[in-house]
Structure 1
Amino acid sequence: MTVVVDRPQTTQVPGGATVLPRTDPDAPPPQPRTGLGQVPAESLLVVWGSRVGALCLAWIICQRLLPLEGIAWFVVVFGISNLVLLATTTAVTDGLVEVRDRVAQWLISAGALLVFATLFSVVIYVFYRGWDALSHINFFTDDMTGVGPDDPLDQGGILHAILGTLVELSIAIAITLPLGIGTAIFMTEIGGAFARVVRTVVEAMTALPSIVAGLFIYTTWIIVLGNPRSGLAGALAISVMMLPIIARASDVVLRVVPGNLREASLALGSSRWKTVWHVVLPTARPGLATALILGVARGVGETSPVLITSGYASFVHLNPTSGVMTSLPLSVYVNVRSGQELMIARGFGTAAVLLMLVLILFITARLLARPAGSKPRFGTRVMRAMPRATWRPVRTPEPGADAETRTDDKEEVAS
């Protein structure tokens, strides 16, 4: 017996959507759904119409109704008008949920634009004020030996500050990088009651004022131990500022590493140390580079610790254990507070060089953190952490072969 089932015939509508036929002749025609990532025309009209209306309304308020002059007032009035018009038009066309969504989207977008505008305005202003000094090559190749505050910009430079910053920062990184990552490994991989105490201390030290770090090194390293003010003392003060930042950020990064990677490595016979060294740290390498950049950004711009511990010199001095050593933030402070126009230009030029140095360090750290070529697969990291005696893989027996007489003479490593 054959049963015939009548299936409803489907129709294709523009946009590729499939619509079933109507069963009720009085029902409205079906409307295809909007695909993911596609914005309806009504929403675009509401958003852009509100922007255009807010622009016109801001011009009328600032130029005709109220004595509000300047681009700042125009931007403020435009933003408020745009928010009010966007919420009003959305309430007319949609419901309360859409109004809240549009308002939240506007607030987040406005906050992001405000942050980026502030950042770019600071960078552009610093480069604009310091361009007279940056345009001279001697600004990067000479120091301030024998140069007075009224001497032209084609004399003297900040070579002593650049070299001093690189020396102090290198020593600080050599101290804080292993200590910070080691502290994060202890808090994440070892755990326990003492690890909770360490985490509390690290979180408290992240808000440590910079002057306190400088005074700590000054009292312990210079007064108590009797060492002179030097670049090493400044590097130690910078290390105190960088250490909690690197430890806290590395702790967050290591806690994000999936636990199944650790479990797989331990299940294959690897020790906890090999699991951390060959599985956990390579997986978290980009995040650890970001933690290092956060620490460097905190330490490279500090002025008060190096002012107390290292001092200021107008000549090149590369020995960090004896003699004062100048850094870029300290050079900015000394030049800008002098009151002379040429020295202020040198100060802004030094600040621009400091910004470029931070950018170069950031790019370098990101390039070093990126894996060479393609990223290693999970099998490579786990096999690398396994004991070498367990590297023999299990092979599928060939048809007709005896599994007991089969031998495996070569060790293979999954690539």
Structure 2
Amino acid sequence: MSTTLLPTNEPTREPESRSLLPETRPLPGWMPWALAVAAVGLSVLLLLALGSLNLPLAVVVSVPIFAALVGLASARLEGTRRAKDRIVTVVVYTCFALAILPLLSVLITTIQRGASHLTPYFLTHSQRGIGPRDEGGGIYHGIIGTFEQVGIAALIAVPIGLLVAVYLVEYGRGALARAVTFFVDVMTGVPSIVAGLFVYTAILLGFGTTPKGVWGGLALSILMLPVVVRSTEEMLKLVPNDLREASLALGVPKWKTIVSIVMPTAIGGIVTGVMLSVARVIGETAPLVLTVGATDSINFNAFDGPQASLPLIIYDQAFRSSPYAQDRAWATALTLILLVLILNLVARGIARWKAPKAR
């Protein structure tokens, strides 16, 4: 007697597959903070045992202890890959703190020492008739000189730098492009005193002329030029080639493609690079000592006679023993920092205004 096996509707059960990855759970949010406190406590105990306890050293010692504790806890709960990631994160944040702390220290000190002396009178008067040990005086003559000298440098360096960058990205091929790139790299590392010495020997001694603001602008343009070239070159390389090809496919000449498509697309980065070059030279002192001269009077004409500048005022006042001179030096330094900040904000606004917008 044969029996027939009827089909059933029950699904066939397959053997359960086990994950090859180890079971992990995320590190609780409170644990890194607890480990940070534990690292500080261990570093304090260690320094007490060594008899050399001080706050900066305790902070330095606690960082590797904290990284080790976080790595061990993460490896226990999350696995070795996540533990390595957390350790590298601690190292990155530590390096960032080490880089930003000196900047914050300089900025805070400058504000504390210079803010009280930064008054409208200080910004609208010169040092004419003010002795080194006298109270009063201002930096108006230095503000005028700095703006004119940096403006002359920008008028020289920015057009040349933009044209060189366009050549290297859009046209440069062969030995000439390699030579231009090599000399731009060399100029990037030229010390500022060398630029001032070059202008001093080639212009002042070579033509027998006297120190003027324009020669300081010429020396600063030598320092600005490689920064403008490099920053503009990198920004132009970021422009997609599809934009160039689409424009050329429509029959637009290459020069017009560069002017109408490539440059407007990269204008934000170009303006930022120009402002970086301005920030690079606005605080230079060595080239100006050799080429501009020194004066306590206001001189609006950069092509006639010595002209003051903010870096020269800082250099002159900082080495005087008078407390009034020290106050003027700190206030001038704070003014220079504020000028760089304002120029960068203006550049950001221009870059955002001129940047291409989606329609």
Query: Are 2:171 and 1:190 equivalent residues in the alignment?
Result: yes
How far does residue 75 in structure 1 lie from its aligned partner after superposition? 1.2
Amino acid at match of 2:29: L
How far does residue 150 in structure 1 lie from its aligned partner after superposition? 1.9
Q: Partner residue of 1:392?
A: none
How far does residue 70 in structure 1 lie from its aligned partner after superposition? 3.1
Amino acid at match of 1:73: L
Partner SS state of residue 27, structure 2: helix
Query: Are 2:274 and 1:292 equivalent residues in the alignment?
Result: yes
Which of the numbers 148, 156, 161 marks the counterpart of 2:137? 156
Q: Which ranges in structure 1 are unaligned for 5 or more consecutive residues?
A: 9-21, 35-39, 378-414
Q: Partner residue of 2:69?
A: 85
Q: Which ranges in structure 2 are unaligned for 5 or more consecutive residues?
A: 1-6
Please give the residue correspondences for 1:310-329 in structure 2 after superposition, counting only pairs within 5 Å. 310-329=292-311
Partner SS state of residue 79, structure 1: helix
Give identity over the alignment, percent.
35
Please give the residue correspondences for 1:13-412 in structure 2 after superposition, counting only pairs within 5 Å. 41-62=26-47, 64-134=48-118, 136-152=119-135, 155-193=136-174, 194-371=176-353, 375-377=356-358
How far does residue 114 in structure 1 lie from its aligned partner after superposition? 1.9
Which structure shows the higher helix fraction?
Answer: 2
Q: Is the CA contact 2:162–2:229 (under 8 Å) kept in the aligned structure 1?
A: yes
How far does residue 174 in structure 1 lie from its aligned partner after superposition? 1.1
Partner SS state of residue 184, structure 2: helix
- Aligned-partner Cα distance in 2 for 1:25–1:364: 64
The normalised TM-score by structure 1 is 0.79
Q: Is the CA contact 1:312–1:330 (under 8 Å) kept in the aligned structure 2?
A: yes
- Aligned-partner Cα distance in 2 for 1:243–1:4: 84
How far does residue 248 in structure 1 lie from its aligned partner after superposition? 1.1
Greater RCO, 1 or 2 (C-alpha within 8 Å, sep 6+): 2
How far does residue 218 in structure 1 lie from its aligned partner after superposition? 0.8
Q: Is the CA contact 1:140–1:157 (under 8 Å) kept in the aligned structure 2?
A: yes
- Aligned-partner Cα distance in 2 for 1:328–1:7: 85
The normalised TM-score by structure 2 is 0.90
Aligned residues: 350
Q: Is the CA contact 1:46–1:90 (under 8 Å) kept in the aligned structure 2?
A: no
Q: Is the CA contact 1:335–1:346 (under 8 Å) kept in the aligned structure 2?
A: yes
How far does residue 159 in structure 1 lie from its aligned partner after superposition? 0.7
* Superposed CA RMSD: 2.6
Deviations 1:239-260 (A, max 9, x none): 0110111111111111111111
How far does residue 83 in structure 1 lie from its aligned partner after superposition? 1.6
Amino acid at match of 1:316: I
Partner SS state of residue 252, structure 2: coil
- Aligned-partner Cα distance in 2 for 1:354–1:87: 44
Of the structure 1 ranges 68-77 and 229-238, higher mean CA displacement relative to structure 2 is found in 68-77
